[in-house]
Structures are given as C-alpha cells and as structure tokens.
Amino acid sequence: MMTDGTSTQADIDRVNFLLTLRRRGISDQAVLRAMGEVPRTAFVSADLATSAYADQALPIECGQTISQPYVVAYMTEQLGVKPQHRVLEIGTGSGYQAAVLSKLAAEVVSIERYRTLADQARRRLNAAGCGNVEVIVGDGFEGCPDRAPFDRIIVTAAAEEVPAALADQLADGGVMILPLGPQNGPQHLVRITKSQTPEGTRLAEDRLIPVRFVPMLRGKAREL
C-alpha cells in the first residue's frame, strides 16, 4: 500500500489474486504469505505487467511461460516445503517459482537450459532479495548431482516419465512434484514420495490435477 493510505492498482490486483487462491482451495498460510510477498510484476515483461496477477500463464522469452498463479501455489503447497529443506527446481523460467520457494526453504538450486532466461532470472531474484537461490545453466534431466540429495524437487516442464537422475537425487522421505504426459496429450501433476524399504527404494506416485506445461527438453540450449 502507498504511504498516504491509498491503494495502487497493483495493490488491489495482489489482494484479489490472494483471494482467488483462497477461493480455489489454497489454504497453507506459509504458501499464501510467500505468494503475497513475491511481486509477480517483477517477473514478467513490462508490457505484461497489467496482467501479472491474472490467473493465467503468460509468455516469457525463449518460447517459455510463467505458470498461472494457482498452479504455482498448488504445486508449492503439494510439495510441502519446510524451512530446513533444500529444494531443486528444474526449469527456472522467469524465476518466479524459485522466488516463492525461497520464502519457504533454506536453499533453492534452480536449473535452466536457456542462458538468457538464467541470466534474467538471476537479476530478478537478486532485485527481489532472494539470496538463497542459485541459478545454474544445465540439463534438467541430469539435475544437480554434486549438490544432492534434495529434500524436495519441483519440475516446471512436462516429462513423459519420471527422470531417473532426479529420482536418484531425491532424499529418503523426499517429495518430487512434476507434470507427466506427452506434449500433445493429457498431462497431470504427479507427486512422487521416495522411501527406503527392506525390498529397496520405493517411489510412491499420487496423481493430482490435470495441467498443461511446455515439454521438458534434454541438454542445454545451443542458443539463447
């Protein structure tokens, strides 16, 4: 809010945005607080600022998108991040999801295949005071093995199956959220919970909600 007691349109949009999240079933107070603290306008281009708080995905550079606020909040809530957790994010994009996670976790490592997006996200995250986020240019399918294990892993692009390297980098008792499904077919958010049993490693899978994400691609981008 402005110091003279009046409200800007951005203030009003942010309040309505939080009310929409509550109406759609987001109830975790820490997640709602994080969503309210991160200025979504700082993670979209200036020409889309007036649409930043609309509950819709928006385009960003390199043919990617910033997910709609509800999906960001829902994935974050289902991930169950605690203050002591180390989180791996696959697909930095604009940096918005990483910024939300930074309010909840001890450390966030985010992998982005496009150098342009990684550089922009670092600038935005630094400006937003998200000092516990590290953005790395790399192949999301490979994760970040030298920093593993991670308590939580979130993937913001759709894979056709759970990447084996990411499952390996998930800590015992850890949780991974990712969209699964073909590029041109039905996709669902899936929650994977890892546990060790006498028979070996177990990955329990819960199907959550239908979604639509850009495809997860292998390797670093040769350009951009």
Q: Which residues are catalytic?
A: 67
- Model pLDDT for residues 81-96, shown as the tens digit of each residue: 999 999 999 999 999 9
- pLDDT average, residue stretch 194-216: 90
The Cα–Cα gap between 70 and 135 comes to 23
The reported pTM is 0.91
Q: Does the pLDDT of residue 3 top 50, yes or no?
A: no
- How does DSSP classify residue 6? -
Domain, as residue range, for 178? 9-211
| pLDDT tens per residue, range 14-62 | 888 999 999 999 999 999 999 999 999 999 999 998 898 888 999 999 8
Mean per-residue pLDDT, 127-148: 96
Residue 130 within a domain:
yes
| Packing angle, helices 29-37 and 69-79, rounded to 10 | 140
pLDDT at residue 7 greater than cutoff 70: no
Q: What is the mean pLDDT of the chain?
A: 91
Q: How far apart are CA 14 and CA 11, in angstroms?
A: 5
Length of the chain: 224
Domain count, the chain: 1
CATH at residue 19: 3.40.50.150
Residue 222 in domain:
no
